[in-house]
Chain A
Amino acid sequence: MGRIHLKGVRKAFGDVIVIPSIDLDIADGEFVVFVGPSGCGKSTLLRLIAGLEDVTSGRVDIDGVDMTNVPPAKRGLSMVFQSYALYPHMSVRSNIAFGLKMAGESPEIIKQKVEKAAATLNLSSYLDRKPRQLSGGQRQRVAIGRAIVREPKAFLFDEPLSNLDAALRVQMRLEITQLHQQLATTMIYVTHDQVEAMTMADKIVVLNAGNIEQVGAPLELYNTPANLFVAGFIGSPKMNLLNGAIAAKFGAGTIGIRPEHIATARDRGEWQGVVRVAEHLGSDTFLHVDAETIGRITARAPGELALAAGDKVGLTPRPDRIHRFDSDGRAMRA
């Protein structure tokens, strides 16, 4: 079991309020991603759940039990840190075994569990090495091994892939997702990378300045962002946000249109413009276009498109994919 419930959780460091008040429900077995820009309070929120920081007010329940004032060791959670935080003076085996040793497990059970975890994570041949003799990816696996061996109620990941290179990050992302499917344990994952959030989460919590902007499944956030912040944060390349006369035409303060929802053609289109930068990825082509009267627009066309900087292009937004926002930035539903 790993049901986590936050009620009116508030955190202030002295006079600085980091999290004004948060209510959140995380169901057992769910993969929840906290995403937001740096300094939005996502890591602090995770540390409040872990018990590494004390809440200023509010309640943290785990499986229906009030854990607000329970020390981290007794909450039954495991955490994987961005810096791996391995014990440098211990072998991989001792690192993974440490939590079990602290829990007073017998040596036979420790050996058995450590070897099982090592096998799951392809670490069996590294058990007697020290962390400094491992690569970044292997270190991160040891950190995950240390977390799974304790069979926690929930896993907490604090930007675990930020220190890895791009290729390894994609691979580890997949491994963590598979691990979640295998263990079916609650996972809370903090990241500033919206691609990680979109690809891994059952449920995304978008945070901004200590407040929850929106909670929902990845595609729900993509298709119906609740406000301008979520609209701009989720999706890559970013949604085009236009205001002024063009927005007024749709009866909104601001309209948003994702680059992939704009059709491009050489000769005709609703908006005419000139390509300033063309990015050819093979699978897609990103066009950064200066359009007449409305300004810079990013459009995404599938496949290869023989357009280069300076070429004229016509853009046509898909009308059913235009998001409307009122003057306060809230989404307007039809």
Chain B
Amino acid sequence: MARAHSLRRRTITTAACWLVGLVIFFPILWMAVTSFKTELEAVEIPPKFLFFDWTTENYGVVQERSNYLLFATNSILLSLGSTLVGLLFAIPAAWAMAFAPGKRTKDLLLWMLSTKMMPPVGALIPIYLLFRDLHLLNTRGGMIAVLFLLNLPIIIWMLFTYFKEIPGEILEAARMDGATLWREIVYVLAPMAVPGIASTVLLNVILAWNEAFWTLNLTTTDAAPLTVFIASYSSPEGLFWAKLSAASTLAIAPILVLGWFSQKQLVRGLTFGAVK
């Protein structure tokens, strides 16, 4: 009886999970489906789900109208660049806070997080003026700097929680074994924190990839990532749903693939430390 009971329970749980998954995934699926419709079919009511004339015309138009590859390259450079620069600063910062905490370490962590609570638009004008005067507007370097600073608190927080789980005695053992601070981080801390560092990188690449506020306001073409590419299809003359969908599908495809292949690592990283 117990087995039958657990089988029924498992079936229900699985069905419920699929349902929730489908509800969450539906907008993305609908967007992908819409991208293969004509503009007329895209706004038709009642909407057709699968039985329409599938066409790749929108993708051709989108590619003709704007240079997808340039935007995609910028997205890759900006998200990876800002994450790597972030790690360079965050690993030492998280190390210091986890293994050599001071009286105010907790306050410092909270303060860093509090910067994420401020509406970004509050800082837009000073940052815009700063960028203008430093000739950073519409440059990749400038955007990497903004995205890196934007996500730095989260990177530090995540790494801090992973580092906290590593027993300090192991690092002390490395110190007794003659390791300098740098070698202690490279040979002992980093390899032990690989799952944590990997999920931090993944999450921050995704966050930087999807960041739209600063990229829309500080770039036009040269350094513009895919978020700007999508936005260029919501024009004041009327929406072209099918083309907008095609552009959006193209924009999220790379990150979706990355997320799909790294989901195990992501979940492991995000729950790291939850179970002792």
Contact = CB atoms under 8 A, between A and B. Distances in A.
Interface in B163-198: 167, 169-170, 172-180, 183, 187-188, 191-192
A295 to B, nearest CB: 44
A72 B175 contact: yes
A140 B250 CA distance: 56
A185 to B, nearest CB: 15
Contacts of A150: 177-178
Interface in B38-84: none
A211 B178 CA distance: 31
A190 to B, nearest CB: 14
A150 B178 CA distance: 10
A78 interface: yes
Given A83-B167, A89-B192, A102 B178 contact: yes
Contact of A52 (B167, B172, B177): B172
Contacts of B173: 79, 81, 85-87, 146
Given A52-B172, A85-B167, A73 B178 contact: yes
Contacts of A103: 178
Contacts, number: 58
Contacts of A88: 170, 192
Interface residues of A, number: 23
A87 B174 contact: yes
A81 B173 CA distance: 8
Q: Which of B169, B170, B174, B176 has the most CB of A within 10 A?
A: B176
Contacts of A98: 174, 177, 179, 187
A81 B170 CA distance: 9
A73 B192 contact: no
Interface string A92-131: 0000001100110000000000000000000000000000
A146 B177 contact: yes
B187 to A, nearest CB: 8
Given A85-B167, A85-B169, A99 B178 contact: yes
Contact of B177 (A71, A82, A102): A102
A50 interface: yes
Contacts of A85: 167, 169-170, 172-173
A89 B169 contact: no
Interface string A10-41: 00000000000000000000000000000000
B89 to A, nearest CB: 24
The residue in B169, B172, B173, B183 that gathers the most chain A C-beta atoms within 10 A of its C-beta is B173
A158 B159 CA distance: 29
A216 B255 CA distance: 69
Contacts of A89: 191-192
Nearest to B191: A89
A234 interface: no
B191 to A, nearest CB: 5
B178 A81 contact: no
A299 B16 CA distance: 70
A200 interface: no
B180 A73 contact: yes
Given A89-B191, A102-B183, A71 B176 contact: no
30 contacts: A50-B176, A52-B176, A72-B172, A72-B175, A72-B176, A73-B175, A73-B176, A73-B177, A73-B179, A73-B180, A74-B178, A77-B176, A79-B172, A81-B173, A82-B169, A83-B169, A85-B167, A85-B169, A85-B173, A86-B173, A87-B170, A87-B173, A87-B188, A88-B170, A89-B191, A98-B174, A99-B176, A102-B178, A102-B179, A146-B173
Given A73-B176, A146-B173, 6 more contacts: A87-B170, A87-B174, A89-B192, A99-B176, A99-B177, A146-B177
